[in-house]
Structure 1
């Protein structure tokens, strides 16, 4: 996707705004805003986004994501992460990449079912959302393999285990 000889963007040229809209995030993670910001920045640096850029991450709940998913995708249910590419330029001259929205209840449930730390799953889904903003997709097998390889690389740089590695599902009490 990029030439290894290209310089990485300056971390200061990347404006990442994270809004914690659901108090559940703060109860479940010590610093959910920092977690999402760090993963978004790692994804932007790994993909060598050229020039100044900005994006927004919203740590919302299932209700908010369900409404957005219904309005924009015709799916009347929450999902773990939504990405809304922008492509405009913000008032400071940065490329406005778009918005990422994570749904607390769905993300927390998936992390528990997959026996992953919640922070690791948030980091994965944030990186996944950034890749979508940059045009990456997983509609075909080849696209999925490329996107998953990039996600693995980003997360490895953050010290997070391969999210696609098979793990036994965590048993839940009935």
Structure 2
């Protein structure tokens, strides 16, 4: 499948950078985020098209992961779906919180380009916002298959295949 604009949905992203230091030039641009999120939303005919993507330090990631998931360690991406009050329709999908340091470390450990790992995690997080999960093996298989398909549109290799 092509990566042209026809396969992406229009999205509005609030890109937040809450980093004290580090190589913030390695962060995805707003254009990158719009392309990756747009492909996910277009694959779902999704009407909710607004979200926040926040890049954070390890301490913020760890605090959120501890408080919301009961895991006292930083993680690569956290997804917080927006739940509108009954009777209110808003285009908000939710928030993604991404720990830059964890992403860079994982990309190096897994011998992946940082940009490719970011693309995977942004799409993975968006799928969580849309209700996908990977707790049960069948759900994980379906989610991973979709991630592979979407990433292939950007010529990004299967993130689940072990390195050669």
Relative to the length of structure 2, the TM-score reads 0.84
Q: CA offsets per residue over residues 11-38 of structure 1, 9 Å max, x none?
A: 33x3222212225352335x54433332
Check conservation: 1:25, 1:32, Cα contact below 8 A. Answer: no
Matched, 1:111 2:80: no
Match of 1:157 among 148, 153, 164: 153
User: Which digits, 9 at most, give the CA deviation of each residue in 1:61-112, with x for residues without a partner?
Assistant: 21110111111112111011100111328xxx64211101110111111000
Count of residues paired in the alignment:
155
1:36-47 pair list within 5 angstroms: 36-47=33-44
Other-structure match for 2:25: 27
Match status 1:144 vs 2:140: yes
Q: How does 1:6-17 map to 2 (within 5 A)?
A: 11-12=9-10, 14-17=11-14
8 Å contact from structure 1 (residues 20, 33) kept in 2? no
Which residue in the other structure is 1:5 paired with?
A: none
| TM-score, scaled to structure 1 | 0.80
Which segments of 5 or more consecutive residues in structure 1 lack a partner in the other structure?
1-7, 169-174
SS of 2:22 mapped into structure 1 = helix
